[in-house]
């Protein structure tokens, strides 16, 4: 008796292979996007850490100076106070009446290394895209390449609830307590990365003493 038998070999059809490739492609795109997003967030975190460290360095440097050119080196009496000889110490002015006794910003030939009061730093801007593109420390020395892509801007002003600059109006103090709007200066340090127009903003107050 002749017996005939047949066998079929199982395999993958072309259509099934195409579907498998499509599924793998979609999965790989998702994985790549996830890895790319993680890398980007890691980079952003590093920039933020550097910005905080940079702002802290500037704030520490500025707050370490005396409140005003009109203060004694010891800080007492405050710049709006009355001296034993009856003469008044007058705080520097942000606006420019004619003529102001002192103005915000460096006094005379002062350089970064010789800044001696808080408002000397008003208007300071240095780093990426400015001059030689360098940031400097308290001694006027370059901070090197670690912060090569950062820019720092400093603004100093008297505290003013209305949000505008303050014009100094002399008053007769009855004591030397810190009790008027000229007794605190707001220091604002903004750190920018690269060509960004929105930076990281850090603020602190310095009291009149």
Q: What is the pTM of this model?
A: 0.70
Cβ partners under 8 Å of residue 18, min gap 6: none
pLDDT digits (tens, 9 = 90+) for 3-39: 555 555 556 677 777 877 888 877 777 777 666 555 5
Give the CA diameter of the chain.
138
Percent of the chain with pLDDT over 70: 69
Q: Give me the pLDDT at residue 16, please.
A: 75
Task: Read off the pLDDT of each residue in 156-181 and give the average, rounded to a whole number.
Answer: 60
C-alpha to C-alpha distance for 179 and 208, rounded to whole angstroms: 10
pLDDT digits (tens, 9 = 90+) for 36-89: 555 545 568 889 999 999 999 999 999 999 998 888 777 777 777 555 566 666
Listing DSSP states for 157-172 in one string gives EE--TTSS--------
8-state DSSP, 47 = H
C-alpha to C-alpha distance for 200 and 53, rounded to whole angstroms: 11
Per-chain mean pLDDT for the chain: 78
Residue 185, token pair as written in the block: 């200066």
Q: Give me the pLDDT at residue 88, please.
A: 62
47, burial (CB in 10 Å: exposed 0-12, middle 13-18, buried 19+): middle
Q: Give me the pLDDT at residue 4, please.
A: 52
C-alpha to C-alpha distance for 144 and 17, rounded to whole angstroms: 56
Q: Give me the pLDDT at residue 90, please.
A: 72
Query: What are the backbone dihedrals phi and psi of residue 190, each rounded to the nearest 5 degrees, phi first?
Result: -115, 130
Query: What are the backbone dihedrals phi and psi of residue 203, each rounded to the nearest 5 degrees, phi first?
Result: -135, 155
Q: Give me the pLDDT at residue 184, please.
A: 86
Task: Read off the pLDDT of each residue in 136-151 and give the average, rounded to a whole number.
Answer: 90
């Amino acid at each position: 008796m002749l017996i005939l038998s047949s066998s079929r070999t199982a395999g993958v059809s072309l259509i099934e292979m195409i579907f498998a490739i499509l599924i793998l492609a979609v999965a790989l795109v998702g994985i790549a996007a996830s890895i790319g997003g993680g890398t980007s967030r890691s980079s952003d975190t590093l920039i933020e850490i550097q910005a905080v460290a940079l702002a802290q360095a500037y704030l520490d440097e500025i707050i370490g100076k005396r409140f005003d050119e009109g203060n004694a080196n010891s800080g007492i009496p405050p710049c709006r106070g009355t001296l034993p000889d009856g003469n008044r110490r007058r705080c520097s002015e942000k606006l420019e009446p004619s003529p102001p006794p002192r103005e915000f910003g460096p006094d005379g030939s002062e350089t970064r290394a010789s800044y001696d009061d808080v408002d000397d730093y008003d208007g300071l801007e240095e780093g990426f895209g400015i001059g030689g593109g360098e940031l400097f420390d308290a001694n006027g020395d370059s901070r090197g390449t670690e912060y090569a892509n950062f820019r720092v801007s400093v603004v100093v002003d008297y505290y003013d609830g209305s949000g505008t600059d303050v014009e100094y109006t002399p008053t007769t103090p009855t004591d030397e307590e810190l009790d008027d709007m000229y007794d605190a200066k707001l220091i604002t340090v903004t750190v920018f990365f690269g060509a960004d127009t929105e930076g990281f903003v850090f603020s602190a107050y310095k009291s009149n003493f």
